[in-house]
């Protein structure tokens, strides 16, 4: 059990709350747009389980790879020296095995979903793994992280429908700018270290004040896509409640992180964004379920 706990800590399993709720939105959105409302519930449950496996294994692969690749930097940084690999809790070789196992499980899971997910699985893995290299050559690394997590809603939608659509893409764009923005805030903690090691990030490149401004702009874009999704998707008004919480949490995190006070960065990063993701998804999924039930003929319901 201790070994399992160590690996869960290695991949920061608690951070799954950022992307998983959006994957569930994409999944339910896919169900709503199924042409055949008579799809067996057993098939839906099977797809859901496979999507969850894909989410967990893809994220575990990416996070463990990031820890493996950055192990030498993590050892030098006082903030990250206690992480599992630099602290010697998990050996680098075992972390590498963990990465390969999760990547294989991800590809196998996509095979049992549908052909398009299987064919695109190497592309998805490339995106989420490529992020780990970006801090070595571009300050746009935050956007690459956002891109990786943005695959969640469109990927889950593809799992159900086997096709692309505008609405899940809007949620994916919302995730790109949302994640990029809060990752910039999180990176404020390492400005000095990143500069000393010639690592790239928006805070280390542009400075603290400009980085916060850029994060705000990115979050405005994120909120814009979430608002656009409401109108384009013709959602039930319950969606608006989730929208208020999501935007409210964006505003809140920027109100507590100041250029001269970074003491609440972790609250902004974990608490505010965790609430934003979970609460928003609950209301959006509720709105989708109400739409689905409204479209099902009474004869089927009864």
Q: In whole angstroms, what is the distance from residue 112 CA to residue 46 CA? A: 10
pLDDT at position 155 is: 97
Domain that holds residue 174: 10-301
Which of the two residues, 302 and 50, has the higher pLDDT score? 50
What pLDDT score was predicted for residue 291? 86
Q: Which of 135, 271, 242 lies closest to 190, judged by CA?
A: 135
In percent, the amount of the chain with pLDDT more than 70 equals: 95
The whole-angstrom separation of Cα 190 and Cα 2 is: 30
When divided into structural domains, the chain yields a total of 1
Model pLDDT for residues 77-130, shown as the tens digit of each residue = 999 999 999 999 999 999 999 999 999 999 999 999 999 999 999 999 999 999
Biggest alpha carbon–alpha carbon distance for the chain: 68
CATH number at residue 24: 1.10.357.140
pLDDT-derived band at 300, boundaries 50, 70, 90: very low
| pLDDT confidence bin for 38, thresholds 50/70/90 | low
In a domain, 2, yes or no: no
pTM for the structure as a whole: 0.94
Residue 50, pLDDT score: 98
In a domain? residue 280: yes
Give the model confidence (pLDDT) of 213-257 as tens digits: 999 999 999 999 999 999 999 899 999 999 999 999 999 999 999
Band of the pLDDT at 35, cuts 50, 70, 90? low
The contacts of residue 177 (CB under 8 Å, 6+ apart) are 146, 218, 219, 221, 222, 225
Residue partners of 45: CB distance under 8 A and separation at least 6: none
Residue 13: band (very low, low, confident or very high) from pLDDT cuts 50, 70, 90: confident
In a domain, 4, yes or no: no
The pLDDT assigned to 269 comes to 87
The structure tokens listed for 23 are 């994957």
pLDDT, tens digit, 9 for 90 and up, residues 159-209: 999 999 999 999 999 999 999 999 999 999 999 999 999 999 999 999 999
Residue at 3 is within a domain: no
The answer to whether residue 204 is domain-embedded is: yes
């Amino acid at each position: 059990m201790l070994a399992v706990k160590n690996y869960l800590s290695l991949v920061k399993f608690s951070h799954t709350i950022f992307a998983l709720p959006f994957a569930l939105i994409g999944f339910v959105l896919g169900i709503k747009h199924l042409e055949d409302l008579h799809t067996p519930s057993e098939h839906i449950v099977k797809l859901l389980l496979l999507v969850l496996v894909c989410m967990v294994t893809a994220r575990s692969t990416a996070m463990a790879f990031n820890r493996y690749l950055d192990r030498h930097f993590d050892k030098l940084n006082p903030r990250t020296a206690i992480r599992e690999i630099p602290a010697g809790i998990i050996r680098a070789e075992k972390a590498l095995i963990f990465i390969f196992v999760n990547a294989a499980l991800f590809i196998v899971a996509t095979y049992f979903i549908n052909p398009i997910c299987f064919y695109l699985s190497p592309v998805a893995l490339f995106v989420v793994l490529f992020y780990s290299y970006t801090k070595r050559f571009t300050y746009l690394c935050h956007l690459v992280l956002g891109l990786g997590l943005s695959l969640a809603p469109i990927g889950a939608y593809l799992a159900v429908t086997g096709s692309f659509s505008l609405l899940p893409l809007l949620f994916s764009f919302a995730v790109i700018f949302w994640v990029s923005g809060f990752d910039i805030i999180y990176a404020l903690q390492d400005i000095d270290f990143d500069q000393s090691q010639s690592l790239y990030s928006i805070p280390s490149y542009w400075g603290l004040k400009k980085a916060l401004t850029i994060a705000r702009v990115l979050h405005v874009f994120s909120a814009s896509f979430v608002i656009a999704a409401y109108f384009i998707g013709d959602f039930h008004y319950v969606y608006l409640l989730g929208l208020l919480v999501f935007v409210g949490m964006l505003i809140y995190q920027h109100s507590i992180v100041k250029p001269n006070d970074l003491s609440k960065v972790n609250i902004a990063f974990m608490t505010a964004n965790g609430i934003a993701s979970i609460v928003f998804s609950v209301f959006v999924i509720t709105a989708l379920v109400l739409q689905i039930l409204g479209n099902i003929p009474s004869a089927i319901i009864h």
